[in-house]
Structure 1
Amino acid sequence: MISFVLASASVVWYIILWSIGLIGCLAARKRYRLRPRSPLASAAANTVPGVTILRPLKGLDHNLYENLESTFMQEYPNFEVFFCVEDERDQALTIVRDLMAKYPSVNARIAIRDGEPVGVNPKINNLITAYRQASHDILWVLDSNVMADRGTLARAVDILEPPSTATPLRRRIGVVHHVPFAWVTKPSLGSCIEEAFLNTNHAKMYIAINTVAVDSCVVGKSCLYRKSDMERVNGSLRPIANAEQGGFQPGERGLKMFGRFLAEDNMIAGSLWHELGLRHDISCDVAKNAVGDMSPIDYITRRIRWIRVRKRMVLAATLAEPFTESMFVGVLTSLGLRYLLGLSPWFFLPVHFLAWVLVDMDVYTSMAGHPVPADKRWMFVVSWALRELLALPVWTMAMLGSEVEWRGKRYRVMKNGEVERVASMASGLLGWFRKRKDFYEPLDISD
């Protein structure tokens, strides 16, 4: 009886998991294969909501010039840009000043952090000065390694501030976010594995979860929300009783309250969801992320870091992660089918992996606007397979500790994703898999 129950459960879960994957695949097709031009792009400046774009910077990141230039080139008539740095000696400011001279008509300013840090999160520390100086209520926080299409801002505002003639929704939209889409600027094995992961399995599950929308799930590479909403929440995730009538949390509120979290983007989105009862939506644009030269160890340590953050925020979901991976669930289901139907695993597993990779590559096609290029296809499939093979070992190592390294500093992840600095370096496996430098997310720390 126990064997029958376990075998049946594996098959039922396999069907559920495939249903989730197909939701993500079909939703990606519907959302990303058509990107219409927003009417706001050609509207008069005084007829559209103003937007303040906040770009946190730290040093010379990959593709930085093109990433920042995409901000100046937005087809939207009413926005300002703040380039946020910790000090005036930051190397990124050379590029910023060149772009400001190239686009003098764009209202762009440099915001240097003023005062003491508001928390351990350097992204929040960089943003806080510009956040306080923002002229507009709508904020677009856009990481330094993200390049945005010209129509991205206009299409996002369409969602955040729908026309008055639109059908009323049950809940107001509080966050518009964009799915990260990685593109390799310096091909290497680690960067190709990262690209294969983010553009297939990660994107598929991320889109599916946000399509079902049972809870907040946001990666903050590119997010729009309102400052007026932020000033009502404090990161406690406790619902505000009179939120619809303008209620707010007692005590201190606003962006500074999220400086204590490592995954500040997810906590901001979660606070707007749970404290104010606002919902989220994904735009039809992607956040194009430039991925530089990464080794396999760099990839592994990066994944360990995020899993350790997630397990302190959503333990149940993190514990279930192995049961969503193709290798682990494929083996379990093959054993279940052999017990129930006598089906050979040697027949089932090749069909399983072929179907899985075809769905994942279809998600890539939807987000990229084209299939994987023919000259990259085999390398992409090999990278995809390596990612799938690494998933369970990486998850296991991540679950055995609570310390992470980020930009040369060590942190201990505590309850709800809050962190504290740790002076000494870790030893053992974590020390060996120490991340030597940041290749992908210089400031954002949730994926």
Structure 2
Amino acid sequence: MTDSDETISSTLPLVLAIVCLVWYIILWSLGILGCRTARRRYLSRPRSPLSSADPSSVPGVSILRPLKGLDANLYENLESTFKQEYPNFEIFLCVENEHDQALNVVRDLVAKYPRVNAHIMIGAEPVGANPKINNLIRAYRQAANDILWVLDSNVMVAPGTMARSVDILEPPPRITASQRRRVALVHHVPLAFATEHTIGSRVEEAFLNTNHAKMYLAINATGIDSCVVGKSNLYRKSDLERVDGTLKPDNASQYSAHGTGLAAFGRFLAEDNMIGLALWHELDLRHDLSCDVAQNSIGSMSFYDYILRRIRWLRVRRHMSLAATIVEPFSESVLIGVLTSVSLHYLFGVPFWFFLPIHFLVWYAVDMDVYSSLAGRPVAFQTGWMQFLGAWIIRECLAFPIWLYAVWGSKIVWRGKEYTVTRNGEVKLTRKGSSGNVTNTRKCLNVNLAQ
């Protein structure tokens, strides 16, 4: 071995240890930022003046809710949109066919609230591989208002959510003039609650309410790039009609290939993230969060269902943002804790048994602080906290094994259908649902190519 080889072999561990410690500090900075953001934003939810304004003086909002079957807490989720404290809105309740079980719930609510301008939309239009877009496209075209609020069927919102969100999307002129970039999208961080306490439901609840929420808030607080989850999003139809998902600022040449508007995003499974990215990069507009949460109802989810869900979205994200997906496991408590403990032991002789318990204890405390801020109440020792702690531990321990399995494939299953994820997060339907009939890929792509 030459002197240079010996130098490299002795220097490399030192460099890696220092890099690990620097990354650990950066990661904790993001975690504290997410925690502080949660405290500042969600511990107070003031009433918006738009809630009691004259209907003619506020912008109209069209609420679009895609439905399929009897999701957990469906009646209460949908009723929350009928009970919005806002003077000018309409609701579109969209189902794929007239045999959908959600229709009975929808008709009961329409009858219960006759003064609400609600429309029942039956029938999907195939404009892409994404069934949610296909379900919503007719309502999108018929919406009377420029502001659209797209809400998943498993989401419940507080009565003042719409008014506070429109406050941000349509601020007073003096505030608009001071902004460097106009707000094009208002979104809400998910706050999960398990309606059935299966192991998968509890693990999903622990994930969404702690690490996911913490990093989601931190990334949005930095404003370095778009980071949007599509549980509850408000944006303008006029803005959406100017983007096509290519993420190119000058995308006029792409219009003939993909079209614009909601239909252009039918080729993506994660259409929510792509819409956010398109508004951010193609129009140079920004996003913002209101002080509301999207209360995400989680029904009976098996442990296997939870794993499949994480695999599905990791594979979609890998094709949309490879760098972020590669970095993700190094932001998880177990892997970064082990790596940092090795680095500290190498550099300063810190014992593993001393560092790791402190690391996990503080990590859990910050996660629970974020959860408490979103929930608006202390949750550390609420009823069932031991089960929650167990679910949190399972989630943290599984993060790296699930990631490792997910990054090596491109097949995903969503709502009984199999898709292949391709470049930029676009998907191709490869197998239909319960019938199990394999479709001709060329046939499935005809819709996309016609956009």
Deviations 1:187-245 (A, max 9, x none): 1111111100000000000000000011111001000000001111111110038xxxx
The corresponding residue for 2:429 is: 421
Does the aligned pair in 1 maintain the 2:98–2:123 contact within 8 Å?
no
Pick from 257, 260, 277 the counterpart of residue 270 of structure 1: 277
Tell me, in whole angstroms, the C-alpha distance in 2 between the residues paired with 1:144 and 1:424.
22
1:313 CA drift (Å): 0.3
The corresponding residue for 2:61 is: 51
Alignment of structure 1 residues 217-366 onto 2, 5 Å: 217-240=227-250, 250-251=255-256, 252-366=259-373
Deviations 1:48-87 (A, max 9, x none): 0000000011111110000000010000000000001112
The corresponding residue for 1:412 is: 420
1:185 CA drift (Å): 0.3
Please say if 1:149 is aligned against 2:120: no
Does the aligned pair in 2 maintain the 1:233–1:249 contact within 8 Å?
no
Tell me, in whole angstroms, the C-alpha distance in 2 between the residues paired with 1:399 and 1:104.
49
Does the aligned pair in 1 maintain the 2:242–2:260 contact within 8 Å?
yes
Q: Give the counterpart letter for 1:346 in structure 2.
A: W
User: Secondary structure at the residue paired with 2:309?
Assistant: helix
Task: Name whichever of 208-217 and 163-172 sits farther off.
Answer: 163-172
Does the aligned pair in 2 maintain the 1:176–1:281 contact within 8 Å?
yes
Tell me, in whole angstroms, the C-alpha distance in 1 between the residues paired with 2:122 and 2:253.
29
1:112 CA drift (Å): 2.1
Q: Give the counterpart letter for 2:426 in structure 1.
A: E
1:337 CA drift (Å): 0.4
Select the structure of larger CA radius of gyration.
2
1:395 CA drift (Å): 0.3
Q: Give the counterpart letter for 1:50 in structure 2.
A: G
Tell me, in whole angstroms, the C-alpha distance in 2 between the residues paired with 1:424 and 1:68.
28
The corresponding residue for 2:52 is: 42
Does the aligned pair in 2 maintain the 1:121–1:261 contact within 8 Å?
yes
User: Secondary structure at the residue paired with 2:389?
Assistant: helix
User: Secondary structure at the residue paired with 1:176?
Assistant: strand
Deviations 1:104-144 (A, max 9, x none): 00000111236x40011010001000000000000000111
1:269 CA drift (Å): 0.8
Distance 1:240 1:304, change over 3 A: same
Alignment of structure 1 residues 120-131 onto 2, 5 Å: 120-131=129-140
Please say if 1:394 is aligned against 2:439: no
Tell me, in whole angstroms, the C-alpha distance in 2 between the residues paired with 1:90 and 1:144.
13
Does the aligned pair in 2 maintain the 1:232–1:248 contact within 8 Å?
no
Paired residues, number: 419
Does the aligned pair in 1 maintain the 2:417–2:432 contact within 8 Å?
no
Alignment of structure 1 residues 187-206 onto 2, 5 Å: 187-206=197-216
User: Secondary structure at the residue paired with 1:374?
Assistant: coil
Does the aligned pair in 2 maintain the 1:138–1:227 contact within 8 Å?
yes
User: Secondary structure at the residue paired with 2:173?
Assistant: coil
Tell me, in whole angstroms, the C-alpha distance in 1 between the residues paired with 2:15 and 2:244.
45
User: Secondary structure at the residue paired with 2:356?
Assistant: helix
Tell me, in whole angstroms, the C-alpha distance in 1 between the residues paired with 2:39 and 2:86.
26
Q: Give the counterpart letter for 2:165 in structure 1.
A: A
Percent identity, aligned pairs only, is 64
Tell me, in whole angstroms, the C-alpha distance in 2 between the residues paired with 1:345 and 1:8.
17
Tell me, in whole angstroms, the C-alpha distance in 2 between the residues paired with 1:378 and 1:408.
34
Does the aligned pair in 1 maintain the 2:241–2:262 contact within 8 Å?
yes
Please say if 1:180 is aligned against 2:190: yes
Segments of 5+ residues of structure 1 without an aligned counterpart are 242-246, 426-447
Please say if 1:134 is aligned against 2:120: no
Tell me, in whole angstroms, the C-alpha distance in 2 between the residues paired with 1:111 and 1:344.
63
1:374 CA drift (Å): 2.4
1:376 CA drift (Å): 1.6
Does the aligned pair in 2 maintain the 1:42–1:75 contact within 8 Å?
yes
Please say if 1:161 is aligned against 2:170: yes
1:318 CA drift (Å): 0.1
Tell me, in whole angstroms, the C-alpha distance in 2 between the residues paired with 1:121 and 1:424.
12
**TM-score, structure 2 as length reference:** 0.91
Does the aligned pair in 2 maintain the 1:233–1:248 contact within 8 Å?
no
Does the aligned pair in 2 maintain the 1:81–1:108 contact within 8 Å?
yes
Q: CA RMSD in A?
A: 1.4
Deviations 1:156-179 (A, max 9, x none): 000000012325200000000000
Q: Give the counterpart letter for 2:250 in structure 1.
A: I
Alignment of structure 1 residues 82-101 onto 2, 5 Å: 82-101=92-111
**TM-score, structure 1 as length reference:** 0.92
Does the aligned pair in 2 maintain the 1:112–1:129 contact within 8 Å?
no
Tell me, in whole angstroms, the C-alpha distance in 2 between the residues paired with 1:406 and 1:307.
13
The corresponding residue for 1:74 is: 84
Segments of 5+ residues of structure 2 without an aligned counterpart are 1-10, 434-451
Q: Give the counterpart letter for 1:4 in structure 2.
A: L
Deviations 1:251-292 (A, max 9, x none): 321110111101000011111111111100011100001101
Tell me, in whole angstroms, the C-alpha distance in 2 between the residues paired with 1:63 and 1:248.
45
Does the aligned pair in 1 maintain the 2:416–2:432 contact within 8 Å?
no
Does the aligned pair in 2 maintain the 1:232–1:249 contact within 8 Å?
no
The corresponding residue for 1:376 is: 384
Please say if 1:105 is aligned against 2:115: yes
Does the aligned pair in 1 maintain the 2:187–2:290 contact within 8 Å?
yes
Deviations 1:355-388 (A, max 9, x none): 0000000000000011225222111111111100
